[in-house]
Amino acid sequence: MNNTPNIVLGAGCFWCIEAFLQLFKGIKSVTPGYAGGTSENPTYEQVCYGIGNHAEVVKVVYDPAIITLESLLEVFWAIHDPTTLNKQGYDKGPEYRSALYYSDPTELDIIQSALAKAQTNWPNQIVTEIKQLAVFYDAEDYHKNYFANNPNKAYCQIIINPKLKDIRKKFEFMMR
């Protein structure tokens, strides 16, 4: 296993996932970006127009001594609806798909076990795309720490803030 365990997760808008995951103990960094597509060096505009079929994702670097992959995946499947294809809330399109891209193939058993456990919490079939990561592209700088840098923007107030309250209640024991 590598020295800095990481996983790439897609759960709708990367502004939301980044804001959520930054709250957890053991998360070293959360970087918004693009993965799962076919074009090289995609831009936000290209991803929004479906060019290259990339998903908005975050690369999560974590400390397994503080947060295990199992716990991180429990959070992942709880912070979005993994049963909706290409949609999270008002965000629609393949760039908002539920996706999990792993770097270390030895983690696949853990991922499959976590998926089976998560499925018991959802009445509909989980449709999360699960693949080995081919390449991760960093998003443009203005997407990084979006919620922290833009807390008063409408999207942050209307979409992210209410979800953050729910996540804080459900996972307060794991928060910083």
Residues serving a catalytic function are 13
Neighbours of 51 (CB within 10 A): 14
Asked if 9 and 58 touch (Cβ cutoff 8 Å), the reply is yes
Instruction: Name which of 31, 12, 11, 48 is nearest 143 in CA terms.
Output: 31
Q: How far, in Å, are 17, 79, 94, 128 from residue 30 at the CA level?
A: 9, 15, 21, 20
Asked if 103 and 71 touch (Cβ cutoff 8 Å), the reply is no
The two three-digit tokens of residue 24, written as one number: 């957890």
Query: How many angstroms separate the CA atoms of 175 and 26, rounded?
Result: 9
168 CB-near residues (< 8 Å, 6+ apart)? 23, 175
